[in-house]
Structure 1
């Protein structure tokens, strides 16, 4: 295969990643700080779910979701240093995702983890995980409980 594409045997199957679709995480992500190169793979066009695949460790990948699809009032705060690292010129430069935990054998128990969003500047191909405090939301929410309930969740 040419150098512009890389094939990875990931946890979700074989992926062919274009070099121009990789994202650099200068700080890595929590628990995997030494891994810096990732690809963001859309599960199915039009759904809020994605897969963040390490380009350096094929066994490392995580399911992510667009939190705004479930919780329209979800918001994060980035420190000035994080904005500089991501080369943010406008909030519209960022694509925000949160991790999804799917318990083995219990997909109904799947949760969105709101305290460590992944922020990606798609134009610059830079990403970072930004731990949040004092969210106004619980740290995790069950996907099955979501809909137009984010006001109730915010008061939990």
Structure 2
């Protein structure tokens, strides 16, 4: 099926749709998203809304940013996302890229996006740790691609 997104018209298969039952904080009214990869922006990918073509969130693998990144998913979140196989879970960190000032980009390591790829269910979870902040300057990290 074709969807109009901020990144243009994109063909998305049913199995590539991720449902956020409660939306994402700030976008609670939106439920259907997909992860899009653009060659020109790698390693940054895009979590695009399939319901509002103006919404696309830049995301990155948190282990590229911090190779020692640790995440603990609560039993409640495991149940809600119906996670049975940890190998089928994707974890993404949302980037904030200030318009005209990409050097001031921050990464949210405190509240990652967790996706059960098998079931197409996603949720932004808040980690119960002071170790990570909602706004880490990306420039503080050396990338581990």
TM-score of the pair, normalised by structure 2: 0.88
* Equivalent pair of 1:76/1:135 in contact (CA under 8 Å): no
| Contact 2:2 2:9 (8 Å CA) reproduced | no
Q: Which runs of 5+ in 1 are unaligned?
A: 150-156
- Hey, what's the Cα distance between the residues in 2 that align with 1:13 and 1:79? 36
Over residues 92-117 of structure 1, what are the superposed CA-to-partner deviations in whole Å (9 max), with x where a residue is unaligned? Answer: 22100011011111111111111211
- Does residue 129 (structure 1) correspond to residue 124 (structure 2)? The answer is yes
Aligned Cα root-mean-square deviation (Å): 2.1
Q: Distance in 2 between the 1:37 and 1:11 partners?
A: 14
C-alpha distance in structure 2 between counterparts of 1:29 and 1:62, whole Å:
11
Residues in 2 aligned to 1:18 and 1:67: alpha-carbon distance in whole angstroms: 26
- Under a length normalisation based on structure 1, what TM-score does the superposition of the two structures give? 0.82
Answering whether residue 21 of structure 2 is matched by residue 26 of structure 1, we say yes
Cα distance in 1 for partners of 2:19, 2:74 equals: 19
Structure 1 residue corresponding to 2:68, chosen from 54, 66, 73: 73
Change (3 A) 1:81 1:138: closer
Q: Against the structure 1 CA distance between its residues 56 and 72, is the aligned structure 2 distance closer, same or farther, given a 3 Å change threshold?
A: same
The runs of 4+ residues in structure 1 deviating greater than 4 Å are none
Work out the CA distance in 1 between the residues paired with 2:53 and 2:85.
33
* Distance in 1, Cα, partners of 2:16 & 2:70: 26
> Which structure 2 segments of 5+ residues have no match?
none
Choose 1 or 2 for highest CA Rg: 1
Contact 2:58/2:96 (<8 A) preserved: yes
